[in-house]
A and B are shown apart, each in its own frame.
Chain A
């Protein structure tokens, strides 16, 4: 096998100084959610480890995750792709196309069997043998299964890849699902979001690339450093929630003053992501900061958990459970009243029977 560059070599080849390299490593460390005392380890890995080969497959999706990815600010997506990893195959970012390109995928898989990192975006379409999602003349599900077999680790980018996403929403005509059931026993990192935060995407792939290890994962296979908190618990509007200060509609005084969007169905209390602390586009903003309630896009089935702008599911004219529950309670109370009246009558009859010497039947 030919010798592959390390990250340091790749920096030097491009005429960048070692100082720049170290600065890059420091940025990487913070961006991966690691403490600063890990800098030396990051530098060591970046000096010695050959650039990891990455194959990036796209399935049933909108490529919005890539749109997010290329907006990563630290590191720049271009830096990552050109100097930090050896990206061998990517539908969206590759210059090549056609048969030679597909051929290159096969070659890469063969050459780096068991070593490459497989990044997957998009759901797996399964209905009709997966023909709803074809790429290079083959159903995506086949390509995925074949390439996954030789992967060292798999990263599922976006809610489509982790749980089926919008394709997998009811009624799911294409039978779309997350990739985890089609990748065998390979270790898999779930990076949900629609799309995931750019720096989270780059951070996860860099973690695997540099340390050759999977970052610590939570019970749903998500990296703890990025999905360890609810948005609600890290939201800068949380004090307004605690103080009971809410926007009741998108154009009222509360909304203008930037109060909590909880009443507008914000899914922050149910959603695990880094929007609250990392924010988007180098800390510029995130949905809640822009005045929109969180829709919980990193939740597995968020498309089906509507309406997105109300706290509770609604059932047409019946309203939500609070309305239905109150209705049922009133109906029960009315039933109780009728039953009570009938019981009084029954008791009077019973007492009369008793006086006449007839013992109740049931008591025998």
Chain B
């Protein structure tokens, strides 16, 4: 048995953790139901009227998941406001951010054996920023399509411009669909990198999304961004 001293950093508030999982589930639901809306399939369509698969229901599921996602996102933003540990944006304005990104990238390319310790490493922060952008695109294009069933409503007024900007509602559908695949690629990378970080560093990467804490051996470079650690 190896005895080792580690510091416990409390990072993620319940707002981030709970809504992370709710959003994860709703993203999966939206992805699958979205693909089914684009290319509907028959299930048990001996008598079409009694098919188990109703596009109407699929759309409702998709819309429900979308509203759950947006509500969760709003509460997750609340977590961002009240808890410093929830702030995951890349520190692009700080010079050392770029050298640290290169450092982490070299490690991920297996050219370096390890990278400097971080609470939230710069490359991960960049990928989250990319995810936020994609989520924002999905939200505005999604509401643009959803609300334009009646362009005269407030929703049509708030989101109708998206169709004009993209050059037509067809392009809105296409962008929405392409972006969904982008998010799926993120999901694969995200799950793998989380498991890998836990395996390589043993810092509690995965459990941090349940209990909010990470266990670090050395002082991380972005330690100043959160409350001082408890030492175990």
Binding site for B on A (CB under 8 A): 218-220, 224, 228-230, 233, 241-246, 259, 262-263, 267, 269-272, 296, 299-302, 305, 311-313, 321-322, 324-325, 328-329, 332-333, 336, 339-340, 342-344, 346-347, 349-350, 353, 360-363
Q: In this assembly, does B39 line the interface, its C-beta being within 8 Å of a C-beta of chain A?
A: yes
Given A332-B185, A350-B114, check contact A230 B173 (CB 8 Å).
Answer: no
Q: Is the CB of A322 within 8 A of B56?
A: no
Q: Is the interface of B mostly helix, strand, loop or mixed?
A: helix
Known contacts A332-B185, A360-B113; can you find 9 more A-B pairs with CB under 8 A?
A: A230-B148, A243-B49, A244-B42, A245-B51, A272-B151, A296-B170, A305-B171, A328-B181, A362-B112
Interface bits B165-178 vs A (CB < 8 Å: 1, else 0): 00111111110011
Given A245-B48, A363-B114, A363-B116, check contact A270 B196 (CB 8 Å).
Answer: no
Q: Is the CB of A325 within 8 A of B38?
A: no
A329 to B182, CA, bound (A): 10
A322 to B148, CA, bound (A): 25
Q: Is the CB of B48 within 8 A of A243?
A: yes
- With a cutoff of 8 Å between Cβ atoms, the chain B residues found around residue A325 in the complex are 181, 184-185
Q: Is the CB of B149 within 8 A of A313?
A: no
Q: In this assembly, does B224 line the interface, its C-beta being within 8 Å of a C-beta of chain A?
A: no
Contact of A346 among B53, B110, B149 (CB under 8 A): B110
Q: Is the CB of B151 within 8 A of A244?
A: no
Show 28 A/B contacts (Cβ-Cβ < 8 Å), sorted by A.
A219-B161, A219-B164, A228-B150, A233-B149, A243-B48, A243-B49, A270-B168, A301-B167, A301-B168, A305-B168, A311-B39, A322-B38, A322-B39, A322-B181, A324-B181, A328-B181, A328-B185, A329-B184, A332-B188, A336-B192, A339-B192, A343-B200, A344-B199, A349-B113, A361-B113, A362-B113, A362-B116, A363-B116
- With a cutoff of 8 Å between Cβ atoms, the chain A residues found around residue B103 in the complex are 362
A313 to B173, CA, bound (A): 11
Q: Is the CB of B51 within 8 A of A243?
A: yes
Q: In this assembly, does B40 line the interface, its C-beta being within 8 Å of a C-beta of chain A?
A: yes
Pairs of residues from A and B, 6 with the lowest C-beta to C-beta distance, nearest first: A325-B181, A242-B56, A362-B114, A270-B169, A270-B170, A360-B114
- With a cutoff of 8 Å between Cβ atoms, the chain B residues found around residue A346 in the complex are 110, 113, 200
Contact of A242 among B55, B117, B151, B200 (CB under 8 A): B55
Q: In this assembly, does B115 line the interface, its C-beta being within 8 Å of a C-beta of chain A?
A: yes
- With a cutoff of 8 Å between Cβ atoms, the chain B residues found around residue A267 in the complex are 170
A243 to B49, CA, bound (A): 7
The number of chain B residues with a CB under 8 A from chain A is 51
- With a cutoff of 8 Å between Cβ atoms, the chain A residues found around residue B51 in the complex are 243-245
- With a cutoff of 8 Å between Cβ atoms, the chain B residues found around residue A263 in the complex are 39-40
Q: Is the CB of A305 within 8 A of B113?
A: no
Contact of A322 among B35, B53, B164 (CB under 8 A): B35
Q: In this assembly, does B152 line the interface, its C-beta being within 8 Å of a C-beta of chain A?
A: yes
Residue of B nearest to A232 (CB): B149
Q: Is the CB of A244 within 8 A of B188?
A: no
A312 to B178, CA, bound (A): 10
Q: Is the CB of A218 within 8 A of B151?
A: yes
Q: In this assembly, does B189 line the interface, its C-beta being within 8 Å of a C-beta of chain A?
A: yes
Report which residue of B107, B164, B174 has the largest number of chain A beta carbons within 10 angstroms of its beta carbon.
B174
Q: Is the CB of B218 within 8 A of A363?
A: yes
Contact of B110 among A229, A296, A312, A343 (CB under 8 A): A343
- With a cutoff of 8 Å between Cβ atoms, the chain B residues found around residue A259 in the complex are 48
How far does the Cβ of B118 sit from chain A's closest Cβ, in whole Å? 11
How far does the Cβ of B130 sit from chain A's closest Cβ, in whole Å? 14
Q: Is the CB of B56 within 8 A of A299?
A: no
Q: Is the CB of A305 within 8 A of B112?
A: no
A271 to B217, CA, bound (A): 59
Given A219-B161, A329-B188, check contact A321 B178 (CB 8 Å).
Answer: yes
A246 to B185, CA, bound (A): 30
A152 to B115, CA, bound (A): 70
A228 to B149, CA, bound (A): 9
Q: Is the CB of B188 within 8 A of A362?
A: no
A340 to B199, CA, bound (A): 10
- With a cutoff of 8 Å between Cβ atoms, the chain B residues found around residue A219 in the complex are 151, 160-161, 164
A242 to B14, CA, bound (A): 39
A243 to B161, CA, bound (A): 31
